Amino acid sequence: MEAIKHASGAIAGVEQVSTIWFLYTQQDLAKATQLIKRIVSNGAHDFTKVTCQTSFLASCVLATLNCMMNFSDTKTGMIERVKEHLQAYEGAVPMKAKWSVNLEKFISWAFYLIEFHRRNQGNRDKDIQSIFETQLQLSAFKTFLNIARENIMGQNFGLAFDAACFSLSLLSNSVNHGWSSGVARDAVLELLGFLVEGSVEIVNQCFMKAARFGSTELVSILLQIAQARGLHVNVNFALFAASEYSHINTMECLVTEGHATYFFGPLMTAARSGCMPVVQWFVKRGCTEMELCYALTAATSNNQVAIISYLLQCIPQQMLNLFSFEILKSVGEERPDSFEGVNFLLSSDFLRDPIATYAFANRLATSNEEAITPELKVFLLEHWSAEAFVEGMRAGEVHYVNLMRILRRGKSEICLRELPPPLVIVIAYLPLYRECLASSGSLLPQRLRGELMVAARRLSNWAVDEMSEKRELLEILQQHMPCF
């Protein structure tokens, strides 16, 4: 936050020092060194702001080395990401709005300088020149740090490091093929290397922010710095942050380069929120069967039907059979107010055996175990128990009797018995038919299945077995209904 505040300050204080990032010759370097010495000897004192802003500008210059880019589009992309970053910070809205405006001005100024100097370079051998010029610029920056070192405390180095990383984070998705490799990457590494010497604790903080915002290139560079200098960065926590915002490329980098290994927490969070790409990534990366069962529980508790459906295909049947009770029990404990996920899990025939799935649901509904919440028991009793099936059949019979009474005794001007039989069937059973179609999965809740069973039996002269499946029962209704 402090780095953003200083980086968004007035531009005037950094204009003189900014010249070091546009040096072309040794003579330019000598002149810049003399200029910096004169500025310091004449009483310059706001080194925090100048160092932060110079570091921010340096990142922009180095990250765009030899990069085929549209400066206007890149600038616009950075400004948009500034707004995203500021939203993540706590603080008064007016203050963040002020920082946003100042940062936009600073970014516009920085890219004006970069574009102006790049245009004036002409058609020189850019590959050779960029290496030579970059070394001059980095030498000048190191000279500035050495000259001003007495006035730059460790905290200032940390703020400058943060400012440089902030700029790189903004550029992450704006620059194509800019600083992920080659001269630009080496230059960025050297720049951050100068700044990290004064404040090593800031590295992990910047690393976390880079992971959160999906700045994959910066994550990779900070990993390299940390590994080279023996610094601690929390790769597992960074993986959690990246996965929370679905930054798949960053997650890949954290695992392949950072050797992150803790998948359980991020997988559970993704399952709860219904983030399919992240769940799929973790599954393909390699999760234990037990972790997948926990993820299934999390998805079921939060009614994430797409995740439930996907995980059921990934978990071996023996694991589902073994932990089915624990899964349903945990769902009841975690989310006692909504059982859409439970309904979907049972409708999907998650035990892959209709008789076993129905028997399991009935056993839970009638269980006396305190581990099963009362709310879950009530839900299962009303919809998935053997008692619910009997109640559904009873309701189906009542509906049929009422239909017969209307046909035989009805005195309405619209006489049902005068309508063609298929239309009478539509009037009687279309709502039930639609409700059954809307129920996902291969199994119907027991109460609904009981109602459908009676309808199918009445239409087929009782030629229906009690264990007939949803598809077979619906086909009987379809055969007796007209096509609209």
CA 332 distance to own-chain centroid: 26
Residue 448: its pLDDT value, please? 96
In this predicted model, what pLDDT tens digit does every residue of 185-226 receive, in sequence order? 888 888 898 888 655 678 999 999 999 999 999 999 999 999
Provide the pLDDT confidence category of residue 174 given band limits of 50, 70 and 90.
low
Per the document, the length of the chain is 484
**Contact at 8 Å (CB) between 477 and 470?**
no
Task: For residue 418, give the H/E element and its range.
Answer: none
Per-residue pLDDT for 6 more than 70? no
Half-sphere exposure of 165 (CA within 13 A, CB side): 33
Per-residue pLDDT for 395 more than 90? yes
In this predicted model, what pLDDT tens digit does every residue of 102-121 receive, in sequence order? 888 888 888 888 878 777 76
CA 352 distance to own-chain centroid: 31
Residue 39: its pLDDT value, please? 76
Q: Is the dihedral of CA 142, 145, 150, 154 positive or negative?
A: negative
Provide the pLDDT confidence category of residue 318 given band limits of 50, 70 and 90.
very high
In this predicted model, what pLDDT tens digit does every residue of 75-101 receive, in sequence order? 777 877 777 777 766 666 777 777 778
Query: How many angstroms separate the CA atoms of 149 and 142, rounded?
Result: 10
Residue 406: its pLDDT value, please? 82
Query: How many angstroms separate the CA atoms of 278 and 292, rounded?
Result: 13
Closest CA to 394 of 446, 318, 463, 334: 446
Average pLDDT, the chain: 84
Closest CA to 170 of 130, 134, 206: 206
Provide the pLDDT confidence category of residue 64 given band limits of 50, 70 and 90.
confident
Query: How many angstroms separate the CA atoms of 359 and 354, rounded?
Result: 8
Residue 254: its pLDDT value, please? 97
- 50-64, 65-79, 242-256, 285-299: segment of lowest average pLDDT: 65-79
Residue 301: its pLDDT value, please? 93
Query: How many angstroms separate the CA atoms of 463 and 461, rounded?
Result: 6
**Contact at 8 Å (CB) between 155 and 199?**
yes
Residue 292: its pLDDT value, please? 96
Residue 179: its pLDDT value, please? 64
Residue 118: its pLDDT value, please? 74
In this predicted model, what pLDDT tens digit does every residue of 252-297 receive, in sequence order? 999 999 999 999 999 999 999 999 999 999 999 999 999 999 999 9
**Contact at 8 Å (CB) between 268 and 295?**
yes
- 57-66, 123-132, 316-325: segment of lowest average pLDDT: 123-132
In this predicted model, what pLDDT tens digit does every residue of 356-391 receive, in sequence order? 999 999 999 998 888 888 899 999 999 999 999 999
Query: How many angstroms separate the CA atoms of 296 and 293, rounded?
Result: 5
Provide the pLDDT confidence category of residue 412 given band limits of 50, 70 and 90.
low
Q: Please give, one letter per residue, the 3-state secondary structure of 359-391.
A: HHHHHHHCCCCCCCCHHHHHHHHHHCCHHHHHH
Query: How many angstroms separate the CA atoms of 398 and 385, rounded?
Result: 20
Per-residue pLDDT for 12 more than 60? no
Per-residue pLDDT for 166 more than 80? yes
**CA end-to-end span of the chain, whole Å?**
64
Alpha-helix runs per DSSP H in 230-274: 235-244, 248-256, 264-273
Residue 201: its pLDDT value, please? 75
Residue 256: its pLDDT value, please? 96
In this predicted model, what pLDDT tens digit does every residue of 418-458 receive, in sequence order? 778 888 888 899 999 999 999 989 999 999 999 999 999 99
Residue 324: its pLDDT value, please? 92
